[in-house]
Structure 1
Amino acid sequence: MTVRAAPTYRVDLAAPLRPHHLVAAAGPVDVVVPPEARGRTDAARAFLDVALRDREVYGSTTGFGALVGFAGRADARDQADNTLAHLGAGQGPPLDPAVVRATALVRLGSLAQGVSGVAPHVLDALAAMLATTFAPVVPRWGSVGASGDLVPLAAVAGALRGHGAADVDGRRLPAREALHVAGLAPLELDGRDALALVNGTSLTTAALALALDGVRRSLDAQTRLTCLLLDLLGCDPQLTDADLLARYGHRGAVVVGTRMRDLLAGVVPAGTRPLQEPYSLRCAPQLLGAAHDALRYVDEVVTADLAGVSDNPLLFPQADKVVHGGNFFGQPAAFAADLLALVTAQLGNLAERQLDLLVDPARNGGLPPMLAAGPGRQHGVQGVQLASTALVAELRRTATPASMQSLPTNLHTQDVVPFGTPAALRSLDGAGVLHLLVGSLALGLRQAAHVGARRPTAPPSAALLDALATAVRPVDPDRPLEQDVRRAAHVLLRTEPEDLP
């Protein structure tokens, strides 16, 4: 067993989870289950024990899914084994451990609301896991986002019981061995515990929240880079005029315009640009503002998901009710994830178009083509611009809405499904691709300064350029630039280069 320092990041479940909590859960976190949550959990568990004497409870007295009309196994622990065993059907590459750990935190947040009827030690086990580096190995494919993320969450629960595999301290081990290394005991479950662990959209919500965090970072970065580009080219900042954007009528454009005016404070136009810039510059407040408004909607969905309970059935002891329904249905997250993918694709398109403008001597104020220090003998950022085109194509290819792909399954008990899980995971992938496009544009701006662009006249732009110049040396002579793109992205996104896709 390895002895480690206690985690320094604290998450108190007395308040709803937020995306930054999920980001922090990539490493050890101290999750506090407040006494009120424990009291609610105790009461629901005691009520469940009474309810099982005289009424049917899905997953405790019955089979699962299409087999609900048949009796479940008599032994509660055997019922738990059966729940998890038949869901061990995931396929594909393993999910990022950070996504899996965020998923576990979301599941804990739902269960801690005290209406699922789990035994209190289940909350303790999830909290104990999150205080270590333990991360179950979870295959990517297997969830349709209805009846919860059954297959991937079964892999999480199985690893906590010592089945399958898990990562701990950066090593992949058999789950039972990983539990020992992390100082964790195998988790004991009954049928209700097992079903409650898998019967929620926690992976969908976690992936969507992480994707939202990533795209938000890129939106802020692109706002800053757009201002730097305007300054380097000597553009007139009237495109950010407050009266102009107020008449546009959209809140996001006003917010972004205000931010851009702050970043461009002190800018001096060169007087050499055309009266009206290309749309990738002139319409940037409107485009970035629309993205801001869309992310606000996605945030509302994530906030509701993190504050809600995703499970079936729910127990209400004071009303003497065991209620069977569909709170495991991930339709809101599916719609939000599809919207996020569309926003990501358009933000990526903007970054690529701005880079294309920057490398074109017909539009960049006479800078050398491809920002090459010696055109022909050197090629500047030509490879980066080419790769950026491929990245935009990837974002477009994956922006087809997943929430419209419903397919019936499970003997038509799940006759409509939201496909929120693939939608959310796809959006998380897209957020990573967008980070690379942000880094590509940032690298181009840094190179533009090397090959003759003017010194920025707005102090925020000058400070950003200096930070980029410190992190990335000029492309002179040519060299491979994939790591430079990542370093430039890190300056803006505060994401470690090795964490980028």
Structure 2
Amino acid sequence: MGLIQEQTCVPVISVAEARTLADLEAAAGPVEVVLDPATRNRVAEGREFVMRCLAEGRPIYGATTGFGPLVGFSGRDEDTDQCENLLSHLTAGQGPDLPTSIVRAATLARLSSLARGRSGVSVSVLDALAEMLKTTFAPAVPRLGSVGASGDLVPLAHLTQALKGRGYAYADGVRQDAGDALASCGLRPLELDGRDALGLVNGVSLTAAAAGLAMAQFIRSHRIAGLLSAMLADQLGCGTDFCDHHLLEAFGHPEAIAEAADLRARLRGTRPTGDRPLQEPYTIRCVPQLLGAVRASLGQARDVILRDLNGISDNPLFFPEDNLVVHGGNFFGQPVAFAADTMTTAVVQTGNLAERQLDLLVDPHRNGGLPPVLATEPGRQHGVQGVQIAATAIIADMRRSAVPASLQSLPTNLHNQDIVPFGTQAALNAFDQVRSLRLLHGSLAVALRQAIHVGARRPTAPACADVMERLMDAIAPIEPDRPLHEDVRRAADVLDDVVASQQDND
């Protein structure tokens, strides 16, 4: 674990440790990043090697050359001019600002990569990034601009420009001139030369950070999906054959077996009513198989994302111990592109499950005789009718946005980048999708709570009953009708808190 917790509750992150998903989430607020002596020495040695190579007249991409397809032309004579040339032509992003949580996580990911000592940057660059992360400063970075090849060039250029006091940034959540934001946070504008600038922009750290944040939430949402499925089955009085260990062991998929075991633990103590159909709808009966498949995809994508967070996606790389400068394509973000698209597919199917479970719960023909849309006086009162309509819109938006980004390669950059992975768009899409999934789970939770109010039994399994108590404390019965948009978000927060506390106790 890279994340350490001090008594002051300020997270402390050591670059000597492997990056974790928890580190990325912690970076949303001020964090202390520790640069140990070994890291400083390694980075300084890499920097000295770069300067020695330049003095010897060795060609180094981006230091002695132009950028991209202009590599065959000489670069600027002065290092500072080379830096300005790079950042200026890449500051071309468009669209709304990315969430500051993603930008700060990307800063941490870039810092961790540069700390490996293979990028040839100055130690002062690492110090500046660490100082930034101690504050609430966050560069304003537009969403559109990266194709996920040659690194996240355009968004990371905006990030770097803000650190130099140009463009816009956030301080304490307020968008303002970047120079003013730096001053309010007690930070000095960053000074760079050509190699430093290229080291900051020439990796897929934004892609990895966005995918990592999406994965951290999806791990919680996956557990929430199993919990809500158990609560639905318990409140309806369903039997538990659908998660019987004999059944799932015969199925033969380890993740489905594990999912069924979790369901049995959540349903331990439940008392079936005996009046449900012999076979439940698939939204209950096939939960172990569906969420087991999600678990398998989630595990594979998580491993890929963590490898990316802890690798080096720069170009070129420097190996002073072997007197080597190696040019290549580590910045080609294909692994995370596939992982993020896989995550999106799994997220949307998990959303399909939640939306269909909500539909089951509000339908008087299938919910055990509860009133339509869980209204106390149907016609005079409308229960969760609006919540279901909004949930339908959310799942439709998720499905529409689920086209894999990693298949959309377009040649660009005078065919220097003649095939690209679009990993950044894949990662940002996954990030958006998991936020929508939270809202679907919040919607289902509000309906489960309302079902108790209109006659459903309280969960009989202690694990399910405990969660329902927390939801009932947070969400009042819907009588009379009232706006429910905040209730949905509040329920989603409760569910996140429940599974986070369970993870802490695992």
| TM-score, normalization by structure 1 | 0.97
Alignment of 1:246-261 (within 5 A): 246-261=249-264
The alpha carbon displacement at 1:244 in A equals 1.2
Q: Match of 2:429?
A: 426
Match of 1:220 among 211, 218, 223: 223
Q: Residues 30-57 of structure 1: CA distance to partner in whole angstroms, max 9, x if unpaired? A: 0112222111101111110111122100
Are the equivalent residues in 2 in contact too, given 1:7–1:131 (CA < 8 A)?
no
Amino acid at match of 1:276: Q
Write the distance in 2 (CA, Å) between the matches of 1:395 and 1:343. 11
Match of 1:285 among 278, 288, 293: 288
Q: Match of 1:48?
A: 50
The alpha carbon displacement at 1:447 in A equals 0.4
Q: Match of 2:276?
A: 273
Identity across the alignment (%) = 57
Which secondary structure does the structure 2 equivalent of 1:403 belong to? helix
Q: Match of 1:16?
A: 18
Q: Match of 1:71?
A: 74
Write the distance in 1 (CA, Å) between the matches of 2:323 and 2:249. 54
Deviates more, 1:214-223 or 1:469-478: 214-223
The alpha carbon displacement at 1:382 in A equals 0.7
Write the distance in 2 (CA, Å) between the matches of 1:361 and 1:293. 35
Amino acid at match of 2:402: A
Q: Match of 1:463?
A: 466
Q: Match of 1:206?
A: 209
Q: After the TM superposition, which segments of 4 or more aligned residues of structure 1 sit over 6 Å from their partners?
A: none
Q: Residues 189-248 of structure 1: CA distance to partner in whole angstroms, max 9, x if unpaired? A: 110000010000011001000111111111111111111100000000111111211121
Match of 1:493 among 487, 490, 496: 496
Which secondary structure does the structure 2 equivalent of 1:61 belong to? coil
Which secondary structure does the structure 1 equivalent of 2:147 belong to? coil
Q: Match of 2:407?
A: 404
Are the equivalent residues in 2 in contact too, given 1:142–1:151 (CA < 8 A)?
yes
Q: Residues 81-128 of structure 1: CA distance to partner in whole angstroms, max 9, x if unpaired? A: 111001010000001111100010000010000000000000000000
Alignment of 1:333-482 (within 5 A): 333-482=336-485
Q: Match of 2:191?
A: 188
The alpha carbon displacement at 1:494 in A equals 3.1
Write the distance in 2 (CA, Å) between the matches of 1:452 and 1:380. 13
Pair 1:105 & 2:77 matched:
no
Are the equivalent residues in 2 in contact too, given 1:7–1:29 (CA < 8 A)?
no
| Structure 1 gap segments, 5+ residues each | 496-501
Q: Residues 307-334 of structure 1: CA distance to partner in whole angstroms, max 9, x if unpaired? A: 1001000000010000000010100010
Write the distance in 2 (CA, Å) between the matches of 1:402 and 1:234. 42
Write the distance in 1 (CA, Å) between the matches of 2:251 and 2:111. 43
What is the number of equivalent residue pairs in this alignment? 491
Amino acid at match of 1:32: V
Write the distance in 2 (CA, Å) between the matches of 1:106 and 1:247. 43
Write the distance in 1 (CA, Å) between the matches of 2:254 and 2:162. 46
Q: Match of 1:324?
A: 327
Q: Match of 1:499?
A: none
Write the distance in 2 (CA, Å) between the matches of 1:310 and 1:282. 44
Write the distance in 2 (CA, Å) between the matches of 1:298 and 1:403. 14
The alpha carbon displacement at 1:455 in A equals 1.9
Pair 1:243 & 2:243 matched:
no
Pair 1:157 & 2:160 matched:
yes
Write the distance in 2 (CA, Å) between the matches of 1:383 and 1:216. 28
Write the distance in 1 (CA, Å) between the matches of 2:9 and 2:126. 18
Amino acid at match of 2:166: H
Write the distance in 2 (CA, Å) between the matches of 1:196 and 1:7. 32
Q: Match of 2:265?
A: 262
Pair 1:311 & 2:314 matched:
yes
RMSD, matched Cα: 1.1
Write the distance in 2 (CA, Å) between the matches of 1:41 and 1:251. 43
Are the equivalent residues in 2 in contact too, given 1:371–1:379 (CA < 8 A)?
yes
Judging changes above 3 Å, is the alpha-carbon distance between structure 1 residues 151 and 6 closer, same or farther for their aligned structure 2 residues?
Answer: farther
Which secondary structure does the structure 1 equivalent of 2:413 belong to? coil
Q: Match of 1:27?
A: 29
Which secondary structure does the structure 2 equivalent of 1:11 belong to? strand
The alpha carbon displacement at 1:6 in A equals 8.3
The alpha carbon displacement at 1:180 in A equals 1.0
Q: Match of 1:296?
A: 299
Write the distance in 1 (CA, Å) between the matches of 2:487 and 2:293. 30
Q: Match of 1:498?
A: none
Which secondary structure does the structure 1 equivalent of 2:406 belong to? coil
Are the equivalent residues in 2 in contact too, given 1:57–1:313 (CA < 8 A)?
yes
Which secondary structure does the structure 2 equivalent of 1:31 belong to? strand
Amino acid at match of 2:438: H
Write the distance in 1 (CA, Å) between the matches of 2:92 and 2:9. 33
Amino acid at match of 2:279: Q
Write the distance in 1 (CA, Å) between the matches of 2:271 and 2:179. 64
Q: Residues 231-280 of structure 1: CA distance to partner in whole angstroms, max 9, x if unpaired? A: 00000011111121112111211111111111111111100001100000
Amino acid at match of 1:42: A
Write the distance in 2 (CA, Å) between the matches of 1:477 and 1:48. 71
Which secondary structure does the structure 2 equivalent of 1:411 belong to? helix
Are the equivalent residues in 2 in contact too, given 1:334–1:418 (CA < 8 A)?
yes
| Structure 2 gap segments, 5+ residues each | 1-6, 499-506
Amino acid at match of 2:29: G
Amino acid at match of 1:482: H
Write the distance in 1 (CA, Å) between the matches of 2:253 and 2:88. 51
Amino acid at match of 1:69: G
Write the distance in 2 (CA, Å) between the matches of 1:63 and 1:127. 30
Write the distance in 1 (CA, Å) between the matches of 2:355 and 2:409. 33
Which secondary structure does the structure 2 equivalent of 1:55 belong to? coil
Write the distance in 2 (CA, Å) between the matches of 1:468 and 1:35. 49
Write the distance in 2 (CA, Å) between the matches of 1:356 and 1:6. 46
Are the equivalent residues in 2 in contact too, given 1:133–1:182 (CA < 8 A)?
yes
Pair 1:138 & 2:141 matched:
yes
